[in-house]
Amino acid sequence: MDLDIAPADEAFRAEARDWLAAHVPAVPLPSLETAEGFAAHREWERQLAADRWSVVSWPREHGGRDASLLRWLLFEEEYYAAGAPGRVGQNGIHLLAPTLFEHGTDEQRARVLGPMARGEAVWAQAWSEPESGSDLASLRSTAVRTDGGWLLNGQKTWSSRAAFADRAFGLFRSDPDAARPHQGLSYLMFPLDAPGVTVRPLGRLDGKPAFAELFLDDVFVPDADLIGAPGQGWRVAMSTAGNERGLTLRSPGRFTAAAGRLAALWHEMGGTAGTALGERVADALIGARAYQLFGYAQVSRLGAGGAVGAESSLTKVFWSELDLALHETALDLLGPYGALADGADEAPAHGSWADGYTFSLAGPIYAGTNEIQRDLIAERLLGLPKGRR
């Protein structure tokens, strides 16, 4: 792994830093988990896209800069270091788009990617169902063949930001007679305002309403919105899952920036070296740096023709536990003030530590629980026998 950054790549980093310095809002946007914040973040996506910063690694024809994965990592480091807003389009940009690049048609890429990059179409992930979370292959929602397309029926739940999003992508059982649960599934896109779709917001621990469950009653989806071949949805979905657990959803820059803010907070609070809290701050800095170096190594491996593979399970366990430990340390440093969320006048850092902690609680659960990821690590990376499930 070569850690020397070429002058051209440093110039790209400097251009990104300058743009962010000129455009990042001086006051944080409202939470994107609210209707007001969702609209503000959609506008931020439009600003990013106007100067091709929304999707830097995409081809230029779809709104990107044709940037290498290394440049994407550098951009992400600058993005989070600048305190730029969260990405309301991340489900589409980081999950659906890589799936379309690998399995979609030219027509689908031409139709879907541009509006996604500009924030005109924000996507929700409609995978989980009641009794089908980490055991995704047990899902029961159906896709039945009809003239010119498919009829979708069933229920999806815990769909992030579906309360305000425009469209969703998900897996449906299209062959109920398939020999195994992960066979006979199809991967389809659908609009959330289509006839037959009911979106019901779900309350969260922090009171914000952007989670939703979806009820589908004979929702018509044309053949043009099927990704991959009928019945091959599981193979397509594993492409999405690899991106979700790997680097793209939780890039290293997110954690190096947060660990840097934690160290600054520790100094601001008069932290003393050699204490238990000081050691936890040091652990967060070391963990973030280790994840950053892992990111550079993975980019080198992908650039040499490698694939994301089962290592994404390692990545997912690491970043989710790092995120939780980092925010728990921040709240312990802040004491009672750490409980103040956004909206409270005295909330430290506009409540970002409290909000970040609440979000980090979900990290070991979403994108496949860490228990499931540890099983995958044992079986696929260590070659251990399958456990009982």
Active-site positions read 244
For 222-258, the DSSP string reads EGGGEESSTTBHHHHHHHHHHHHHSTTTS-HHHHHHH
Task: Find all residues with CB under 8 Å of 110, minimum gap 6, and list them.
Answer: none
Tokens encoding 284? 């967060």
First to last CA, the chain: 38
Tokens encoding 347? 């909330």
Tokens encoding 87? 């990405």
Burial class (CB in 10 A: 0-12, 13-18, 19+), 3: exposed
- The distance of Cα 25 from the centroid of its chain, to the nearest Å, equals 22
Q: What is the DSSP letter of 166?
A: S
Our separate counts of H helices and E strands in the chain read: 12, 8
d(CA 80, CA 254): 5
Tokens encoding 234? 């599981």
Q: CA angle 316-172-180, nearest 5°?
A: 80
CA dihedral for 64, 69, 70, 73, sign (positive or negative): positive
* Residue at token pair 């541009």: 114
Task: Find all residues with CB under 8 Å of 310, minimum gap 6, and list them.
Answer: 376, 377, 380, 381
Do 126 and 214 meet the contact criterion of CB atoms below 8 Å apart?
Answer: yes
d(CA 369, CA 244): 12
d(CA 142, CA 152): 6
d(CA 137, CA 185): 9
